[in-house]
Amino acid sequence: MISRILTDWVEDVAQVTQPDRIVWCDGSEDEYHALIEQMLREGTLLRLNEQKYPNCYLHRSHPTDVARTEHLTFICTPKPEDAGPTNNWMSPEEARERVGSLFRGCMRGRTMYVVPYLMGPPGSPFSEVGVEVTDSPYVVANMRIMTRMGTIALEHLGNSDRFVRGLHSLGDLSPERRYICHFPEERMIWSIGSGYGGNALLGKKCHSLRIASVEARDEGWLAEHMLIIGVEDPEGRVTYLAGAFPSACGKTNLAMLVPPPALSRYKVWTVGDDIAWLRFGPDGRLWAVNPETGFFGVAPGTSMRTNPNAMIALSRNSIFTNVALTLDGTPWWEGMSDPPEYAYDWQGRPWTPTSGRPAAHPNARYTAPARQCPSISPHWEDPQGVPISAILFGGRRARVAPLVYEAFDWTHGVFVGASMASETTAAATGKVGVVRRDPMAMLPFCGYNMADYFRHWLRMGARSSKMPRIFHVNWFRTDASGRFLWPGFGENLRVLKWIIERVNGGGEAEETPIGYVPTPDALDLDGLALSKETLRELLRVDPHDWRREAEAIAEFFHQFGDRLPEELWHEHRRLVRRLG
């Protein structure tokens, strides 16, 4: 039996949007393949080489609709200070007038799909239902990969009125009429004018982070932009870590890491690559689940060398968006392999290596089922989640941050996360290569004032003596010529090994003004050709650079005014004193 509250809401939406017909999605295999065949007929999808990429398809989005549009993403609360200075704010009244009017009649001539979905494992106290209404079959197909969609969600919902309401329409795909609006107090999302994943798959960033972060604040848990992995040592002990990295900064590669030959007796298990919901367990520890069931990964740079597990996961039952197409009907992107002699680029135009433009869009994506990943953890769908021993913060910094350091304590760790910065990537529309503060990698995804978000983190730490240890990592430090000093990818396990040793009471470290840094002989570098000079540079903490960094952190903090927790200013003053 379907909730009457849900059916009433769907009827209200239909009266406004006026679709030709309404389809309630059940999430079945037959339904999925019927949608695929429909999109193949309409030209929305192209079938890829069935022998090499079985049940895989290519979608080309509109050239103006290729990434999250953060400047058109709004938090709609009664007071602007509740959204905070790092979010775009719009009053609910203005949103209903300005954006609501765009939905009137927007689905005429189209089918309205009702997509119930479950975020989190079935039967888990973490899990919650959302319902997305959309006129895009591409969105429906992707939501089936990314979430537990259809009947299973309706069964979880029952007669409850507790579900996130998501309304999405392609509209006319005009950037002038493109909005993504979040109403945290009503647990509602409106998105119009975009078919791109992050703007249109409402279960992903919109629900799982922007709306869920507000729920987490109110209910005493954390909704975070984090991977979850389990590192199994040669004795069979598994230590679970969560990690926050901005988009396209190596998060997916770390989530699916393959150990290097020197550490072949270790195993890295993938629990999730993008989103973590963390709650206290009965033992006082933080336990985490991955609410998703798929990977929405950045394709360029992904290869059998950088991420073989991802390549295997995406090789079947997957949807590719804005990649290039080779003459034999296979997907290709920069960094995957040697370029083909001839292909069609992400817009369908003829392309050769001498064309002078990328074949795949820099933010080209694959949507692949998580269950296909060879490293998927046997516990990835455990209802209680997995216990987190350490939290990693990281980003892309060419100069300032060392390879790894540990925070002095939880409060200092919150300061480290609140002040972290990264160089921007193509995942969000805007300039590339600019350093911007991205606290906990949540700047684009926090659904309320980030000063209050920092306070929530501090309060979480006060509730338990068993909080995870906090570390900062930076795989991207370069030398004067711009060459990466650290090999990265699978070799990052050497850093994780030291982190796990620290968690377990070992791991040699030197106290520095910014935290505990490994001593030169603390990292297991067996089999790695890394000079002592390079290692010294990787671990170096330059007081001059960090004094400038402290100034930049203060400038970032000042925008929050009196709302910023005093504890963070206290940590800032302590950092400045330690730097001398």
Catalytic residue annotation: 249
Paired tokens of 102:
């765009």
Q: Chain-centre distance of CA 211, in angstroms?
A: 14
Cβ 313 vs Cβ 374: under 8 Å = yes
Q: Chain-centre distance of CA 511, in angstroms?
A: 32
* Single-letter amino acid, residue 200: A
Got the DSSP string for 124-158? -TT-EEEEEEES-HHHHHHHHHHSEESHHHHHHHT
CB under 8 Å to 309, separation ≥6 — which residues? 256, 258, 270, 373, 374, 375
* 500 phi/psi in degrees, rounded to 5: -65, -35
CA distance 272 to 287: 13
- Residue 82: its H or E element: helix 80-83
How are beta strands 515-518 and 509-512 bridged, if at all?
antiparallel
Cβ 427 vs Cβ 365: under 8 Å = no
User: CA-CA distances (angstroms) from residue 247 to 95, 123, 177, 366, 374?
Assistant: 28, 30, 25, 14, 22
* Single-letter amino acid, residue 123: G
CA distance from start to end of the chain: 67
- Residue 566: its H or E element: helix 566-579
CA distance 110 to 20: 6
Cβ 22 vs Cβ 114: under 8 Å = yes
Paired tokens of 540:
């170096």
Three-state SS at 5: helix
CA distance 556 to 545: 17
CB under 8 Å to 568, separation ≥6 — which residues? 414, 415, 418, 454, 557
Residues paired with 24 in a beta bridge:
114
Three-state SS at 439: helix
CA distance 281 to 562: 33
